[in-house]
Structure 1
């Protein structure tokens, strides 16, 4: 008899603990706003959860069934009420329906996690949605076949405004062209002069400008010696190609030095060119690191090489008149 009492007490405590635990579980409710719509309209699927502050719930990712419902927007979770440790949360899904009928959306489900417990909580009742369509009264509305395209006669009045505006624009353009022609004729030019490309810069002018731009980049000051000497030697190669017509861009340093032996150059300019090309090869291929003095020296050598070898246009000097002939 004593043993039976012990067993009954144990079963009672177990049931009481389960009931207490069930009372502490979050409560899930759900509803639809509105529960009946016209086809193509939107409605809200709403899930409410009442829980303790420390309890963790996760709302589902809504999966429309059979492709008949479309998820328009999943709104963020909202806190409707907070009283001490008691919270009331709401998750709202905005949906749309495009097929007529009555839908059974089932019960709402929420994932619940608490210490070693991982469970799915469900609402009590299933949710139903009714989607209606527009009813056509065939007794008052007649259905007709599609009519063919009707061709209307063309009337000038339909485009008269466009023609007048177009004529006005043409007159303005013609007046502008005539004024531009008068201005060009006054300065001894024609319309063709407006579209002529700018004449190319002389090789020495282009080289000096490129050298100044390279110097302003401060490459070797930032330990970019290879880029500095590549730019320096490329400027000289371009200048040599433009000045003497030698294909220096496709030549090695030795080939350039050999080709320049046939050109008339000052001895210093010839030595400076060879020195720059040799220093550039050491930096680009042997990974040499020149000091600041050598970097500046090679820049000045390149600058004066261009200045000393540039092609100077000859100007004809008229001899002075003999005053005795007057």
Structure 2
């Protein structure tokens, strides 16, 4: 009999201890009826944590989407978890804060659900008065500048960028198509031709074919003459009629082009000395071409528009 009494007492002690040493969860809502936009406070409190980890919805995600969070504060100590959520609702009707599941260590706890009613306290016909009457303020230039200066500066920046892009494009085209660039590129092409050793190997036909081809492309680009499509006789006549190329350069082009035609049709066989001489003269002609272009540009400008330096250059070129 005493053993049975002891067993009952021990079981009762275990039962009481489970309540005495377990976690205590409580929640509260300060208002169940709210006006539109009115702030309410929902609180959660857990006691006797004993350092256990609390797993709950993260900050600003505790309540459903109808509840607009104003503030969500959390305070955790060794034995206490406190959470205070301030919220407002901007829609009329009844809304529910559901039971919230909280895991403390290995134990699952749940809050009780709450129902919130949101009402519109404004009545139809209510007069809304301003706190103070609107005041008219006269704005001066500085005020307008302060308000719109960012837009003005932005507009100037966009315009500057547009002009910069146009300038870069024009400068790039000018640099790419300038006489100096064309001259340098042609000189490189002539040097490549020399290194092919056509002269040393007496390969006269390929030499003159490439030499005339390079020269025609150069004349077309440098002088704006359709040398790439004209026959030699027509090209010579065109040069004499337009007077774009100086007589010295014109004579060299005529002699070498005519000799090239004879070589291509196997009517003559040039010596190494002649081939070398023709390559050197074409190269010199390419170097002198910038003077022809400069003279032509000066001729296209009226005398009144020329500076003293340009007039001196024009007299020397003549």
**Could you tell me the TM-score, scaled by structure 2's length?**
0.38
TM-score (norm 1): 0.37
Which protein has the bigger strand share? 1
The structure with the larger Rg is: 2
